[in-house]
Amino acid sequence: MFVAGLALVPALHAEQSPSYGPHLEGFDYPHAIKRFEFSSQRQPLEMGYMDVAPPPGKANGRTVVLMHGKNFCAATWEESIAVLSQQGYRVIAPDQIGFCRSSKPERYQFSFAQLAHNTRALLRSLDLEKVTVIGHSMGGMLASRFALNYPQMVEQLVLVNPIGLEDWQAKGVPYAPIEQLYQSQLKTDFGKIKAYQQKFYYNGNWKPRYDRWVNMAAGMYAGDGKEIVAWNQALTSDMVFTQPVIHEFDTLRVPTLLLIGGKDRTAPGANRAPEDVAQRLGNYPELGQKAAAMIPNATLVPFPELGHSPQVEAPDVFHEALLDGLKAH
């Protein structure tokens, strides 16, 4: 659950996190987890997902698919799920293969195209033909790939502080082999995750309620399945670094809403880059404007005082902007 290559951020202090299983057994999700069983790359796999209906009589006929980030799970969307369902949306929130409540294969060729294909298969199994896709962090890269590959299924694309608004390798960040990423992941713990999130996500301002999400991530590294968790995180870190989507933004053909916290400085691999390169990475106010200019039908809503997870940091502000953006379409 931890962005590979950034495990060397100093820990704030030693803290204990709960111990969860490799499929996040023991962590409470806000809604019941359902299972989508399918075959992919010559092996049986399962995607855990939440399917939350709006209250009786409130359905607006639209379905929202929430795509989590790399250091997050579907559960991180709990406040957004509550808000969206109360507004009449059906909400589908899957954990992608390699993450959280879903399968963690020993061997899998991870790609955003494959994960998008898996998600399409899930939606088809639910007889859904048209959805609004909302992606946060790494989920923004996946949501973009989904919209690029299956535009006929997407009525609206929403990107919440997506990573991948810049091509880190092209900007000078050196490649790290998967074995190196794996060894870094094995050192992950509560303190390192919290230190990283405090520095890059929340502009140094920590609130006790954020600890729940650190515990969620760290708990899988504290359990018996930490090796397979770390291995899948290393594989997906390689996917994030080597499969940029920014170069295709000008070919997006769906209405796109960009919700960008300006204090975010997330830049996977920045710690292994030369200092002059690292200093130029993760400038989200600039990256958001450039992305909006590239996408043909884009609306940019900046949150200058918020960081990487505006839906967690300031849910009232975030959800007001999100609902306005969804209604405008």
What's the order of all strands across the beta sheet hosting 154-160? 34-39, 44-52, 90-94, 63-67, 131-136, 154-160, 256-261, 298-303
pLDDT at 15: 55
- Where helices occur in 23-131 by DSSP H, the ranges are 78-86, 112-125
pLDDT at 265: 93
Give Cα separations from 315 to 32, 80, 272, 308, 311 (angstroms): 22, 8, 33, 13, 5
CA separation for the pair 99, 200 (Å, rounded) = 21
pLDDT at 203: 81
CA angle, corner 306, sides to 279 and 244, nearest 5? 55
| Residues, the chain | 329
pLDDT at 16: 64
What is the dihedral sign for C-alpha 219, 222, 223, 228? positive
What is the pTM for the complete model shown? 0.94
pLDDT tens digits, the chain, 329 residues: what are they? 444 444 333 333 445 679 999 999 999 999 999 999 999 999 999 999 999 999 999 999 999 999 999 999 999 999 999 999 999 999 999 999 999 999 999 999 999 999 999 999 999 999 999 999 999 999 999 999 999 999 999 999 999 999 999 999 999 999 999 999 999 999 999 999 999 898 888 888 899 999 999 999 999 999 889 999 999 999 999 999 999 999 999 999 999 999 999 999 999 999 899 999 999 999 999 999 999 999 999 999 999 999 999 999 999 999 999 999 999 77
pLDDT at 204: 84
The answer for residues whose C-beta is within 8 angstroms of residue 299's C-beta and 6 or more apart is 255, 256, 257, 258, 292, 325, 328
